[in-house]
Amino acid sequence: MKSQYRAIVIGGGVVGASVLYHLAKFGWNDVALIEREVLTAGSSWHAAGGFHALNADPNIAALQAYTIDLLSEVEAESGQSIGMHMTGGISVASAPERWEWLKASYRIFQTMGIDDVHLVGVDEIKQRCPILNTDGMLGGLYAAREGHIDPSGVVHAYAKAARLRGADIIEHNRVLALNRRADGSWDVVTEKGTVIAEHVVNAGGLWAKQVGRMAGIDLPVSPMEHHYLVTEALPEIQALDKELPLIVDLEGFTYMRQEQKGLLLGIYEINHKHWNMDGAPWDYGIELIQEDTDRIADELALGFSRYPCLETAGIKRWVNGAFTFSPDGNPLVGPVRGVPNYWVACGVMAGFLQGGGVGKSLAEWMIHGEPEADVYGMDIARYGDFASNREYIRQTTGQFYSRRFVMSYPNEQLPAGRRLKTAGAHDAMDAAGARWGNSWGMEVPLYFAPQGFVETPTLKRSNAFDIVAQECRKVREGVGLLDITAFSRYEITGPQAEARLDRLLACALPKPGRAKLAPMLGENGKLKGDLTVFNWGDGSWWIMGSYYLRQWHMRWFEQHLGDGVTVRDISDAVVGLSLAGPNARKLLERLTHQDVSHEAFGFLACKTLDVGLVRAKVGRLSVIGELGYEIHCQANEHAGLRRALLAAGKDLGVTEYGFGAVNSLRIEKSFGIWSREFTQDYTPDETGMDRWVAFDKGDFIGREAALKEQQAPSRRTLVTLEIDAADADASGYEPVWNKGRLAGFVTSGGYGHTVGKSLAMALVEREAADIDTQLTTHIVGVERGARVIASSPYDPLGKAMRA
């Protein structure tokens, strides 16, 4: 062990070994991995070793595909056998809703470019897996690139390959403390002495909690127990001339793979159990937890009924081991806001499937400043401090585990961690019939329903369809009131505020008393935000954006705004309500003595107004394309402001509406939103955001890269589609076909209640983007016609919002 390294990785499981390997592979060979015991002495040694090609997040699916390809490469590079068995795998469905979901998923995987996946009938399932009882089964989804590996072999292959590239591995050396140095590097205090590291990576696995707390960080992770059993050799398998595929029984909560001439059966039980929520004991190593067969009895019974040969099988061993889970089951990866040079790579529940992609992305991040892929789905910044609460972790990780094989619906609202954050008028809106969704812990209204109404989870149009339609009509014809508490708000002040904002944002900054749409780019020229910037005229500026990106954007702001600027996230202190619709001005006029005529307060103006008893910050803009005003107030004024607006607008047809209607209304205007039309994987040119980029204003982050793209336009562009839908609408990632060839994919969709059409926005090849081009897509797995239409089918000239 040397006295100093560029980076030290803490933890010798599959993720830590992968991070070390990729750092060395990408050019940082002055790196070391420190392990308290021996490599794999945590979750890695007892993992079931299965790997799957499929994931609902296309970016994570791509990283999983990278991992699968990498395993053979690392085996060859290291000379260490990894015991790979590429058996293929089948996810099977026995319920009609699940079969429908698999058919829809198949089409989405086509969007991702996963072309070795296909739907299979019961006969093919039985042919591929003769020991499976297919009674009641409807079909399955077969993936060729699935199978299993030797967990220990994989970890040692990464480690040997890293050593060959110059990395050090130090075992039997527990890290005791982490101390920040004045220059931003770290004193890594270990049992064998103190080592200086410029960067530290927490790949602590079961001990990630403790390694986080060494740096003052409380990570939202918890270990949970997980069972599988391995049988003795079975005659039914000994008689086969092929290896069985990996089987996931979605209704039975089990997965199965062949283990030599026996079976491995794993269970995701409904009755989950946490284990050492504050992290594993330091002396815990290559050992297991006592099996608890009573707790998993129901799932075991389902498994034994699926594989009748288990009834007479001898059990070679039970494995009840701990794995670490995050609230949504995805990894926690990346830099930690406010703790420079401290990186996390933990909560990787599927380490042997995702570990390669995690290692690659984190190494790129550390070395180049950004990962190549959009990895927001596993970015630590998707959580705020609220997620570190122990009860929140208990509820959400338990919910994820128990629902691992339970079908989820896009309109389904899950209970864990709910009612954590609520707006000031929440209880009043609740009494008015609000039905709630959740954004970053905040309750947001989806729609307002009559007492006793319960929405049915579905992949198709829900029974709330008509309720949302009525809200849309009332907003378009009168005036709607929307709770916008769940918008993020950042205040920027200081002597260098304007100059630094001008470099941070790609737009020309608005003049005093004005607001502007503000794309923000990364150094690679791709999007980092679709924001709105306000110049209040008193030296203070606001940036507004998506509420759930608060930690992510604050990390970016703090990294790039620099000295002479103070940036504050004021989203908890300042909230708001939005007025939108043809009667919006009439309503506002009744509550203010100030002139809000079009001449005095035009489109994209902003000013301070007295609105009833509230002194509010008001911007004239709307997310739905109507005459609108965003009225911002202090959190403790929210309920009073709502009462005043409803009372003043009673005869004007004022109605409260939710974000279900917002989605319909905004898609009628072809207004994109973050995580759908705009992500950090897309460019301004392909999304149409380049219309707001001021290339002539001087230097700004991402300018050179965006200019190069403009000179050689991207091959795809954002369009609006009219879908020949029946009882379901597009939601996102459905494939778009041009004469049978994949030409793009849907970014988001919904029913346009004003225009009476099923609509979608899609990124498609430019040759398929002309108006009236006839295309097709698959909605819930069923082929439907799609036609490219002109942008903004409702009010294409934008007269309403500029009235």
Report how far residue 344's alpha carbon sits from residue 217's, in angstroms, rounded to the nearest whole number.
Answer: 10
Q: Are 441 and 548 in contact (CB under 8 A)?
A: no
Chain segment 248-261, per-residue pLDDT in tens: 999 999 999 999 99
Q: Give the whole-angstrom CA distance, residue 762 versus residue 717.
A: 8
User: Distance (Å, rounded) from C-alpha 555 to C-alpha 317?
Assistant: 47
Report the sign of the C-alpha dihedral through residues 719, 723, 729, 734, in that order.
negative
Residues in the chain: 803
| Residues 6+ positions from 118 with CB-CB distance below 8 Å | 106, 141, 142
What was the pLDDT predicted at 516?
Answer: 98
Task: Find the largest Cα–Cα distance for the chain.
Answer: 88
Nearest to 790 by CA among 626, 668, 686: 668
Percentage of the chain modeled with pLDDT above 90: 96
pLDDT digit string, tens, across residues 309-346: 999 999 999 999 999 999 999 999 999 999 999 999 99
Buried b (16+ CB within 10 A) or exposed e, 52-76: bbbbebbbbbbbbbbbbebbeebbe
Of 563, 571, 499, 498, nearest in space to 536 by CA: 498
Specify the CATH class of 4-83+149-220+328-382 in words.
Answer: alpha beta
Measured torsion, CA atoms of residues 239, 240, 245, 247, in degrees rounded to the nearest 10: -40
Q: Is pLDDT of 711 > 90?
A: no
Mean residue pLDDT across the chain: 96
Tell me the domain boundaries of the chain. Answer: 4-83+149-220+328-382, 89-146+224-323, 486-572+685-712
Contact 198, 277 (CB under 8 A): no
End-to-end CA distance of the chain: 71
Three-state DSSP class for residue 145:
coil
Three-class secondary structure assignment of 478-544: CEEEEECCCEEEEEEECCCHHHHHHHHECCCCCCCCEEEEEEEECCCCCEEEEEEEEECCCCCEEEE
**Burial group, residue 314, by CB count within 10 angstroms (0-12, 13-18, 19+):** exposed
In the chain, % helix, strand, coil (3-state, to 5) comes to: 30, 30, 40
The domain over range 486-572+685-712 is classified in CATH as 3.30.70.1400: yes
Amino acid in the structure at residue 305: S
Summarize pLDDT for 633-685 with one digit per residue, the tens: 999 999 999 999 999 999 999 999 999 999 999 999 999 999 999 999 999 99
pLDDT tens-place string over residues 423-452: 999 999 999 999 999 999 999 999 999 999
Please answer whether residues 733 and 105 qualify as being in contact, where contact means their C-beta atoms are separated by less than 8 angstroms: no
Is the pLDDT confidence value at 55 over 80?
no
Cα distance between residue 206 and residue 329, in whole Å: 15
User: Is residue 57 scored above 80 in pLDDT?
Assistant: no
How many CB atoms are closer than 10 A to CB 443? 23
Closest Cα to residue 514, out of 537, 495, 491? 537
CATH 3.30.9.10 for the 89-146+224-323 domain, yes or no: yes
Residue 114 scores a pLDDT above 90: no
Angstrom distance (rounded) from CA 278 to CA 275: 9
pTM assigned to the model: 0.96
Tokens linked to 424? 């000031």
- Cα–Cα dist 212/393, whole Å: 15
Give the start-end residues of each E strand in 672-755: 716-723, 735-738, 741-752
Residue 54 pLDDT exceeds 90: no
- Distance of alpha carbon 505 from alpha carbon 697, whole angstroms: 11
Tell me the per-residue pLDDT of 278-321, one tens digit each, with 9 for 90 and over: 999 999 988 899 999 999 999 999 999 999 999 999 999 999 99
Please tell me the distance from the alpha carbon of residue 254 to that of residue 622, in angstroms, as a whole number. 48
pLDDT at 791 (0 to 100):
98
Q: Is 7 exposed, middle or buried (0-12, 13-18, 19+ CB in 10 A)?
A: buried
Q: Would you give the DSSP letter of residue 418?
A: -
∠ CA 308-315-51, rounded to 5°? 80
In order of 5, 118, 228, 232, 301, the CA distances from 310 in angstroms are 52, 29, 13, 10, 10
